[in-house]
Amino acid sequence: MTIPDSGYMMENGSIELPCTPEEEARIIQELISKAESNLREGNTYYVISNRWFRDWQRYIGKPLGAYPFNEDATQSQPFLFPNTASRPGPIDNSDIIIREIDGESDDPELIITLEEGRDYVLVAQEVWEKLSEWYKGGPALPRKMISVGDAKQLSVEVFPLCLNLHDTRDRSHKVIRLSKKASLHELYSIVCKLKGIAPEKARIWDYFNKRKYTVLVASDQTLEGSNLQMDQDILLEVQAEGLLPSGFGFDSTGNDLALVPVEPLRSSVTIAGGPTLSNGFSAGYSSNTYQGSSLSSTYGDIEDGYDSMRPASKGERGGLAGLQNLGNTCFMNSAIQCLVHTPPLVEYFLQDYTDEINKQNPLGMHGELAFAFGELLRKLWSSGRAPVAPRAFKGKLGRFAPQFSGYNQHDSQELLAFLLDGLHEDLNRVKQKPYFETKDSDGRPDEEVADELWRYHRARNDSVIVDTCQGQYKSTLVCPDCNKISITFDPFMYLSLPLPSTVTRTMTVTVFYSDGSGLPMPYTVTVLKHGCIKDLIQALESACCLRTDEFLLLAEVYEHRIFRYFENPTDMLNSIKDDEHIVAYRLPKNVALLTRLEISHRYQDKCIIDSSKASERKLFLTPLVTFLEDPRNGVDIDFSVDKVLSPLRRKAFISPEPAFKDGAENGSPLEKIEEPMNSCTIQFGHEDRSMEYTEPVENSSRGMAFHLCLTDERGTCCRPVVKDTVIQPARMLKVILDWTEKEYELYDASYLKDLPEVHKSGLTVKKTKQEAISLFSCLEAFLKEEPLGPDDMWYCPGCKEHRQASKKLDLWRLPDILVFHLKRFSYSRWLKNKLDTFVNFPIHNLDLSKYVKCKDATESSHVYELYAISNHYGGLGGGHYTAYCKLIDDDRWYHFDDSHVSAAAESDIKTSAAYVLFYRRVKVQQNGVVGGPSSNRSS
């Protein structure tokens, strides 16, 4: 074997080039930066298995560009890894492609359920070529960058369009893959070259659901514009002598009888059928699940193309049609079913709504989205139980919202938000929006300001969506510096409610007495996750029963030093990580007039005898903070150290006449706190120790009890403290206490060891069944006052500066249709998470009266009943969406699972999968009896 000049052949087959991991990182980073500055349609990118890419990033010691390394890390955690990993072998993409049964394929197919970042990364062509030069391997998986949607958004087409080609001549079947941006001309060219026929003799049909839907005429129209879906069928007919053979393999309807399977047996609980896979994909759209005799009657209406806009009526058993899955579109199907079972929208779109379509609105979609949704709703309510394939609607959705194009799983709530906003703009009755200059409240009554802003809003926004789905909330901002109060009233379309577990966090902080009056004690408190230091201090003050003449000074302890003090009450709590060690020192409020004394602890290895080797001494234990009143010499420091250490004195060295003795109050060692592994006992000593202390003799007559050294800010310079050491006035002094055998005999150091972490999720005493969270607690968490984030600063008109104001929301005006979004998903740059917490929500008589601040007597009732739920099952990426919807006329619930529709008991609709809840307002009579629905127009 010839060794190439450019490198050395390794045992694993890769080529080791003469460059270090750091040089590899530098070269690739330069190529990434170059590619990012030259983004354009037609660029080639390559798919690489994330499994191999992670190994390579471990080798170079850090991530590069936009490629994540550690899925479990959060954005705020730096990615710095020692490059101690061995050099990876050849590039291996075998885990992300479908293995061919009949050998290797020139065009390997990717597994359809892959997710970017989790399963694969995309690298520019230059990056791939360099990595391939270094490591070889493969197979190469090139993909083109295309522009999607009317906005021409650039995106790499990872999954090309797969079409199943059926040939009527020999009934053969072949899968072809090409870009959805390819034209029908290109489709004809590929098919004719594959089959060896002249283009003028070929006719290709859109063979969706194995029915000849329409002829695909060779043109510049794209496959995407022709509504061709992933994995759908197309049919090739070949003319003989310029004529199609009469009746060749087709019945009177033009269908290939051999390709129409018999309908499978259905369950007794199924109303409309079609198999659905657990990962959100459905096989129902690629195979016909209906009897041949029913084809002409059912599939004539199965495509949601535009019909005439004459008023429609509900068909027999209307509202029980499922939606076929077009390739991971269960998220879309779930949201649509909830909307098409919203009574005001059903009544609106079943009538002639063409006069209200606003084609000139620059914020809308030229009325096309409203047309597509309206026709889809009409078909779902008039097609009986036959499932509808929303191909035309999905095509419009991909045009106007490219983020929902393709075949990946998306968020049903995000789609719902887009649809409500898009339908409103397409149906906005206001053609020319007037301009209004908003005014500050300036102390005016809330009712006056709210009505004024609502009138302004309705003068610019008037549609069936605003009539039924929009409400108004009150927003109060308070400046933390000048206390300027700003009140606004804003419209809302839905309420995104945080789950309390996503709003709060538990934090364990160890509290120390600075005057030596008690033992240190850990306290676990619950605070707002996005709160500030002030919130944590307030929670601790209550937990440790802080006296009125004291305050708490928070600090982080790192490697037995005080790493930082938290002296700014507006600093955010998210700067404190769960694995850090936080302490709080109880200090007198007049400490500004005193000298703060910070005490670190140091020990010396017994093997080191030479006292000159002071540098060999190491810090240990937890630093203490106390205070000095007008310190003059070393004896004053020695006295304060003795006082703050006094609770740690062992029993044998305590005077029988105690100066004080704590009982089992909160904060004493006798208190029982539920901490992981009984940390109070393990970490802070035995429970039966008393805290007795005898006041030392007068300072002037005592000697030095400890070996102390004054040190600087960094702890590098040490100056011994003796009795006559003169202490200069200072705001803070730092000393190091050298522990000798005498200190070990006198004091129990275990109280200062092993500080608990802020949060230790892995150590739980006992896992108990999680209690249900009520919808009301989620709503209260949403309405609770909290500070704005550092990235969401408010410009205070009083200070003329951006401030981190506190914000409080209140409900003011409720719509007839009230939508609650439960925020189960949390995202950061590198981390995605889902909460499966069960939320207990009422089905009937949801009374929100106490949450509505508007006291207008003419306001409609605030009582609601549930009529639809969008559910999400499973985790991220592999989850599945369904919907529960209630047919109001029948007063019965049904489960919509893509094509499947089945009856559901009301007792079964409350699950931990509930994601978006739909409520409608109901009338409440004077006697308190719940009546029918209110009118569609809100007041």
Q: Which residues are catalytic?
A: 330, 880
CB 631 within 8 Å of CB 649: no
- Distance between CA atoms of 625 and 515, rounded to whole angstroms? 9
3 state DSSP class of 369: helix
How many helices (H) and strands (E) the chain has is answered by 18, 43
CB 595 within 8 Å of CB 733: yes
Q: What is the DSSP letter of 419?
A: H
Query: Nearest CA to 136 among 189, 97, 89, 193?
Result: 89
Q: What are phi and psi of 712, to 5 degrees?
A: -90, -170
Integer angstrom CA distances of residue 197 from 201, 217, 443: 7, 16, 81
Amino acid present at 199: P
- Distance between CA atoms of 474 and 450, rounded to whole angstroms? 8
- Kindly give the pairing relationship between strand 137-138 and strand 718-721: unpaired
CB-based burial label for 656 (10 Å; 0-12, 13-18, 19+):
exposed
- CA 906, 908, 911, 916 dihedral sign is negative
List helix spans (H) across 514-646.
Answer: 533-543, 634-645
DSSP for 803-819? E--EEEEEEEE--SEEE
- Kindly give the pairing relationship between strand 806-813 and strand 801-803: unpaired
3 state DSSP class of 569: coil
Amino acid present at 519: L
3 state DSSP class of 379: helix
Please work out, in degrees rounded to the nearest 5, the angle formed at the alpha carbon of residue 453 by the alpha carbons of 449 and 457. Answer: 170
DSSP for 855-910? --TTSPP-EEEEEEEEEEESSTTT-EEEEEEEETTTTEEEEEETTEEEEE-GGGS-
Q: How many residues in total does the chain contain?
A: 939
Q: Record the tokens describing residue 320, joined without a space.
A: 């029980």
Integer angstrom CA distances of residue 678 from 24, 578, 687: 49, 19, 11
CB 75 within 8 Å of CB 829: yes
CB atoms within 10 A of CB 91: 22
Amino acid present at 728: Q
Q: Which helix (H) or strand (E) holds 382?
A: helix 368-382
- Distance between CA atoms of 827 and 825, rounded to whole angstroms? 7
Integer angstrom CA distances of residue 558 from 521, 581, 620, 623: 18, 7, 10, 10
Q: Which helix (H) or strand (E) holds 603?
A: strand 595-603
DSSP for 616-657? G-EEEEEEEEEEESS--BHHHHHHHHHHHHGGGB-GGGS-SS
CB 647 within 8 Å of CB 685: no
CB 264 within 8 Å of CB 193: no
CB-based burial label for 905 (10 Å; 0-12, 13-18, 19+):
exposed
CB atoms within 10 A of CB 394: 21
DSSP for 816-827? SEEEEEEE-EEE
- Distance between CA atoms of 587 and 581, rounded to whole angstroms? 19
107: phi > 0 → left, psi -120 to 50 → alpha, else beta; which?
Answer: beta
Q: Record the tokens describing residue 168, joined without a space.
A: 């009527």
CB 500 within 8 Å of CB 783: no
